Amino acid sequence: MNDRLRWIEPPPDASRATFAQDVRAGLEAQPPRLDCRYFYDAAGSELFEAICALEEYYLTRAETEILAEHAPTIAAGFRQPISLVELGSGSSRKTRLLIEALLAAHGSLRYVPVDISRTMLEATTRTLLADYPALEIVAVAAEYEQGLAAVRSVDDRPRLVLWLGSNVGNLHRDEAADFLRRVRDGLAEGDRLLVGIDLRKDRATLERAYDDSRGVTARFNLNLLARINRELGGDFDLAAFRHVARYDEVAGRVEMYLVSTREQMVRIRDLDLVRRFAAGEAIHTENSYKYSPAEIDRLAAAAGLRVEARFEFHESVPAGLVAAQAPGPGERVPPGSPVLLTISRGRAPTPTPVPPTPAPTPTPTPALAPDEVIVPDLIRLPEAEAMRRITASGLMTTYNNYQTVDQVAPEARAFFLSVPPGHVVSQIPAPGTRVKKGTRVHLAIRKE
């Protein structure tokens, strides 16, 4: 029993009853649909973590870069220890950037992760408590609505509520405003809400992000049918459905479907339900709405919130080009109205691989302090081995950058090509650097 960990979760049978009822209602509807909140059983949560590491899925990378740059500023906005409440916490990997900044600023922190997956929460809380002795955790194994009740119960400190991953995009725009209004109603004076919202982008970028070349997102989508098979006695043939993602530019949303590839009959034993699917019939599984800056302002106003600060990242838009505009394209405005342009700074800088240079003649150095370690040499190691050595050295891993030769400076390409695909071409901090235990090591990996 860990006295720094407390659990809040709904009655054992409540979530299954809701799943069964919603599956029946969704499959009997025309057109059929399944709720995206049911993606995240244990298998689905693991698949989503894999999606977050994909090159095409820019969202996690963008939020990580934003938090890496701005977490100290966010932490400095509070003058005392706070409660950090995260809706849909998942692995909490990028949240560590805020956890570390808040611990550095205030010495202690209460973290309240809210996630539908108990399995994911158990793994996350175990590692966080081991890594941060000054951290207290109240873990909420529940959906958002139950999480909101937990937010209201943790009220003896100022709160920063996180809703990252562009999860707001899974709700229709009016539903998003209603949900944020309920979040606002649970906040006290001085509390803050940090929301990750994905900006509108070109069709190709968005559809690649939701239909990756490795098929991970397809497996994630199909796992919804596999879950029905596992938990409700269904007999869906996963090979008879295909994953489809398409961007509706007018609505500003990515839509995901599972499309029947042939005429077929599906039985779900626990629901006493038989459902016939025609060839080409689609089950809608998810929307992901994208926002213009003006739409974000309207969302905040509808929820009774005020935008206090914006942190933006535009790696998909080349440096020097317009990444966003307000008012948005197609909006009606009076003649002479000002137009605010956001100019991209380009892709976030990645370590540039350079050939190793001969080590200088060693000179005596002071002994390591108890909280110091020497960064190991990871150049040319396979990615998995490099990650293992980072952890074994008392350091921390982070999201790696995957590079192709065209992303490398001309003078470094010969060395880059000498490193096998899937191996480390550069690292920050450099090998041999003295750093504090727990320092994050960033790797650049040659992409296959």
Contact criterion met (CB below 8 Å) for 159 and 187: yes
For residue 16, what pLDDT is reported? 57
The class level of CATH for 372-446 reads alpha beta
pTM over 0.85: no
For residue 14, what pLDDT is reported? 59
Structure tokens that stand for 324 in this block: 């966003």
Task: Return d(Cα 323, Cα 316) in angstroms, integer.
Answer: 9
For residue 106, what pLDDT is reported? 93
For residue 344, what pLDDT is reported? 52
List the chain residues with pLDDT less than 50.
326, 338, 340-343, 348-352, 354, 356-363
Contacts by 319-322, CB closer than 8 A, 24 or more apart: 319/344, 319/345, 319/346, 319/347, 320/344, 320/346
Of the candidates 269, 245, 270, which has an alpha carbon nearest to the alpha carbon of residue 258? 245
3-state secondary structure of 39: helix
* 51-85 as b/e: b if 16+ CB within 10 A: bbebebbbbbbbbbbbbbebbeebbeebeebbbbb
For residue 154, what pLDDT is reported? 65
For residue 278, what pLDDT is reported? 96
The class level of CATH for 5-11+49-199+291-302 reads alpha beta
Q: Which helix (H) or strand (E) holds 310?
A: none
For residue 131, what pLDDT is reported? 92
Strands (E), 281-321: 282-289
For residue 21, what pLDDT is reported? 95
Structure tokens that stand for 133 in this block: 């002795």
Contact criterion met (CB below 8 Å) for 246 and 209: no
For residue 28, what pLDDT is reported? 97
End-to-end CA distance of the chain: 45
3-state secondary structure of 285: strand
Query: Please, where in the chain does CATH 3.40.50.150 lie?
Result: 5-11+49-199+291-302
For residue 316, what pLDDT is reported? 52
Contact criterion met (CB below 8 Å) for 38 and 224: yes
> Alpha helix locations (H) across 77-211?
96-106, 118-131, 144-153, 173-185, 203-210
Query: Please, where in the chain does CATH 3.30.10.20 lie?
Result: 372-446
Beta pairing partners, 157: none
